[in-house]
Amino acid sequence: MDRRPLLSALSFLALPNAWLFAFFVLPMATMVLYSFWQVIDYEIVADFTFRNYQRLTQNLYVTVFWRTVKISIYVTALSLLIGYPVAYYLARRVKRFRLTMLMLIILPLWTSYLVRTYAWMLLLGTNGVINKALLAVGIVDEPVSWLLYSDFAVTVALVHIYMPFLILPLYAVMEKLDGSLFEAARDLGGGRLRTFLYVTLPLSLPGVATGCIFVFIPSMGSFVTPELLGGTRSILIGSIIAQQFGVTYDYPFGSALALAVMAAILAFAAVALRYGRPRGVR
C-alpha cells in the first residue's frame, strides 16, 4: 500500500496544527490550569481550589459581567440595524462606485483604535462638538453631561469601531446571491417587502450570524474604549481582567474571569450559528 499520499497530507497539516496547538490550545490549557490556583502572599501557588470561580458570584462581578453582556448585545444589534441596509445597498444596488464605497467603509480600520476612541472623546465631551452644536441652536441651555462617561458613549463608539466587521461578511454573502431568485420572486408577484422577507433575509442569515459574532466577540473583551469613554460609571469586564493581569497580578482570578467571558462568547456563537443557517426560499 502506497502511504505517500497519507504522509503528504499529514505533513501538510502539521504546520497549521502546530500553530493551533502553540497559540490556542496551549494558552487555553494554561489559563484553565491557572484558574484553579490561587495567590498567597503575592505569589501564585499551585494549590487546587474553586475560590476564583466562587468570587465570580460576588455582586460586583455579576453586575459588571451583566453590563458587559448587555452593552455587547446593544452594540451588535445597532451594528446590524445600521450595517444590514448598507451591505444590502452595496451588494444589490450600487454598481459604479461600489469599490469606492467599500474603501470608505474599510478606511477607518487603517486608523488606530486608540485615535478613534479619543476622537469620540472630542465629540462627546462637555466642551465637545456635539454639545457646542446643541447650545448654538438652542436645544439645551447647558452642556449635556451624560454624553461622555456613560454606557451611551461606550455603545456609540463600539458601534462605530466594530460595524465594518459586520458589513464586510454580510456584503460578501449578499453579493453572491443568485439574481434569478429575485427575478422569480418578482414574476410570481412578490413585492419588495415579500421578496426581502422570503428571499433576501433567509439567504443572508449566514452573513448576519458571522457579522454578529465578529462584533460581539471584540465588544465583550473591549477595555480601552470603556475606560476612556465610560469612566467609573461604565466599567466592563475587560477592564477588570486587565487589572488582574496588569495591576494586581492575580493571574488565577483573571484567568477565571477570562474563561467566564469565553463561555458567554461561545454561548452567543452557538446561538448565532444555530439560527444563522440559510433557510429555504419560500
Which pLDDT value is given to residue 98?
A: 86
Whether 42 maps to a domain, the answer reads: no
Note whether 13 and 240 are within 8 A (CB).
no
Whether 132 maps to a domain, the answer reads: yes
Which pLDDT value is given to residue 269?
A: 94
Whether 69 maps to a domain, the answer reads: yes
Whether 237 maps to a domain, the answer reads: yes
pLDDT digits (tens, 9 = 90+) for 26-60: 999 999 999 999 998 888 888 899 999 999 999 99
For residue 140, give the amino acid letter.
V
Note whether 69 and 220 are within 8 A (CB).
yes
Q: What is the CATH number of the domain that holds 259?
A: 1.10.3720.10
The Cα 239–Cα 196 span in angstroms is: 41
The Cα 200–Cα 264 span in angstroms is: 30
Whether 163 maps to a domain, the answer reads: yes
Looking at the 3D structure of the chain, how many domains does it have? 1
Which pLDDT value is given to residue 80?
A: 96
Residue 21: alpha-carbon gap to chain centroid: 24
The Cα 131–Cα 143 span in angstroms is: 5
In the chain, which residues have pLDDT < 50?
none
Whether 22 maps to a domain, the answer reads: no
Whether 171 maps to a domain, the answer reads: yes
Which pLDDT value is given to residue 192?
A: 84
Which pLDDT value is given to residue 13?
A: 75
Entry pTM: 0.88
Which pLDDT value is given to residue 182?
A: 83
Residue 39 Ramachandran class (φ > 0 left, ψ -120 to 50 alpha, else beta) = beta
The three-class DSSP label of residue 153 is helix
DSSP label at residue 38: E
Residue 94, domain extent: 50-276
Place of cell 462606485: 97
Whether 16 maps to a domain, the answer reads: no
Which pLDDT value is given to residue 275?
A: 85
The Cα 205–Cα 278 span in angstroms is: 6
